[in-house]
């Protein structure tokens, strides 16, 4: 997980620099700097930059945010402080009432999840639109076609694919921007506790900063592009993720699409199913990985225990009007994070397992190509010469 990676990094620095003091203190300092380094000044390829006042804005997913933060190369200065080579400008995207909290979408290339918001920025998102599970999809180092696949990624929107694997967010099921309730893996609205959960979510958000990033217990362990599956199973996978999944799983005879001859067209081809083998490998890999991560979180018990904790602590705060101690706020945040990640992973397992059962009815690259040349009919059967002529076939 990201948190484990942070811990390993801090432990390594502490071991090599004993003069910096106890590792626990260094861990707190790391968390404080990480929490205050906000987009657009949090590029992983650059040293972290802390910009005064930028850390006071709150995260709300678009289109609910009332402001936009951008990084500019040059500025005339603010409050008479003079020009600066690097500056950050916060611009209102709508009228903001006096006393209203300034909110921006801190997600840069991918949506910011509840877990990431708490881990990196030390506060809690106000809506369930942030529920999800982050998944990085990289090309394995031992893939014999790694260079070709990286080249394809880098020329199709992922310029740093060799160094930073593309990251996507699995959701509990479909897009739920602006809603207070999630959707479970079977496509049912989570109405049983949604009102209480939404109210508790707003309570935590109104409480302000929950803690430095490192003290939050939010660790997680391991379109046209999207196939349609039968039944009321919502799609937890973003459309942009499908071509990457298929590219990662491409092997054997499908690798002809990696040839330079197809380099300009390959992305369009892998936006749709390539072959049954490729699609089945994608389903097996995604379902297996999601199931392992779901089990590591505690499976269905993680969802049940999170629901119970949210109900117990949340009811105390909402009904009694009690001001919760910071420890309870952290526990609630961790419960929401575990719940959203577990629901997202369970939805992923159900979706890919269900889709895998339909692969015999899916149209793949070769069939699409032959149909485009009028060499097969609508039923997938070879056409006679007369049928080809009647369809306008030409050599």
Q: State what percent of residues in the chain have pLDDT above 90.
A: 23
Mean pLDDT over all residues of the chain?
Answer: 74
Per-residue pLDDT tens over the stretch 336-374 = 888 889 989 999 999 999 999 999 888 888 888 776 656
Please give the C-alpha separations between residue 107 and each of 34, 59, 121, 174, 240, in angstroms, as whole numbers: 15, 8, 11, 18, 16
Contacts of 21 (CB under 8 A, 6+ apart): none
Residue 54's Cβ-side half-sphere holds a number of Cα atoms within 13 Å equal to 24
Cα 243 to Cα 269: distance, rounded to the nearest angstrom: 9
Average pLDDT over residues 283-304: 93
Q: Measuring CA to CA, which residue among 331, 340, 266 is closest to residue 297?
A: 340
Cα 17 to Cα 31: distance, rounded to the nearest angstrom: 18
Q: Measuring CA to CA, which residue among 244, 344, 234, 249 is closest to residue 297?
A: 344
Q: Does residue 80 surpass a pLDDT of 60?
A: no
Q: Measuring CA to CA, which residue among 215, 30, 9, 194 is closest to residue 122?
A: 215
Residue 147's Cβ-side half-sphere holds a number of Cα atoms within 13 Å equal to 3
Peptide bond into 188 cis (omega under 30): no
Q: Does residue 366 contact residue 275 with C-beta atoms inside 8 Å?
A: yes
Average pLDDT over residues 196-221: 43
Cα 53 to Cα 353: distance, rounded to the nearest angstrom: 47
**What pLDDT band is residue 139 in, cutting at 50, 70 and 90?**
very high
Q: Does residue 232 surpass a pLDDT of 60?
A: no
Average pLDDT over residues 190-209: 48
Per-residue pLDDT tens over the stretch 148-187 = 999 999 999 998 888 888 989 898 865 432 222 222 222 2
pLDDT at 251: 93
Per-residue pLDDT tens over the stretch 29-39 = 887 777 777 76
Top-confidence residue, 338 or 58: 338
Cα 14 to Cα 269: distance, rounded to the nearest angstrom: 48
């Amino acid at each position: 997980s990201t948190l484990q990676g942070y811990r390993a990094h801090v432990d390594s620095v502490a071991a090599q620099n004993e003069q910096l003091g106890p590792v626990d203190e260094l861990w707190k300092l790391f968390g404080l700097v990480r929490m205050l380094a906000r987009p657009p000044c949090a590029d992983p390829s650059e040293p972290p930059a802390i910009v005064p006042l930028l850390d006071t804005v709150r995260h709300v997913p678009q289109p609910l945010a009332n402001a936009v933060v951008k990084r500019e190369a040059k500025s005339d200065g603010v409050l008479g402080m003079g020009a600066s080579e690097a500056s950050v400008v916060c611009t209102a995207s709508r009228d903001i009432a006096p006393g209203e909290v300034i909110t921006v979408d801190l997600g840069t290339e991918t949506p910011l999840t509840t877990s990431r918001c708490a881990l990196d920025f030390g506060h809690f998102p106000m809506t369930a639109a942030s529920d999800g599970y982050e998944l990085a999809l990289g090309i394995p180092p031992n893939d014999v076609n790694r260079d070709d696949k990286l080249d394809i990624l880098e020329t199709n929107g992922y310029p740093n694919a060799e160094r930073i694997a593309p990251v996507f967010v699995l959701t509990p099921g479909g897009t739920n921007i602006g809603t207070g309730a999630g959707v479970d893996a079977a496509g049912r609205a989570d109405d049983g506790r949604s009102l209480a959960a939404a109210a508790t979510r707003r309570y935590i958000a109104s409480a302000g900063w929950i803690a430095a990033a490192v003290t939050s217990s939010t660790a997680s362990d391991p379109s046209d592009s999207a196939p349609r599956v039968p039944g009321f199973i919502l799609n937890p996978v973003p459309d942009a993720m499908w071509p990457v999944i298929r590219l990662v799983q491409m092997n054997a005879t499908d690798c002809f699409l990696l040839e330079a001859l197809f380099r300009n067209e390959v992305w369009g081809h892998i936006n749709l199913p390539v072959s049954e083998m490729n699609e089945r490998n994608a389903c097996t890999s995604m379902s297996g990985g999601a199931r392992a991560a779901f089990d590591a979180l505690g499976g269905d018990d993680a969802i049940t225990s999170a629901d119970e904790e949210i109900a117990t602590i949340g009811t105390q705060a909402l009904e009694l009007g009690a001001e919760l101690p910071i420890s309870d706020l952290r526990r609630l945040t961790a419960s929401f994070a575990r719940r959203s990640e577990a629901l997202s992973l369970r939805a992923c397992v159900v979706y890919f397992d269900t889709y895998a059962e339909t692969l015999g009815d899916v149209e793949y690259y070769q069939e699409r190509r032959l149909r485009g040349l009028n060499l097969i009919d609508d039923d997938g059967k070879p056409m006679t010469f007369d049928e080809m002529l009647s369809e306008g076939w030409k050599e």
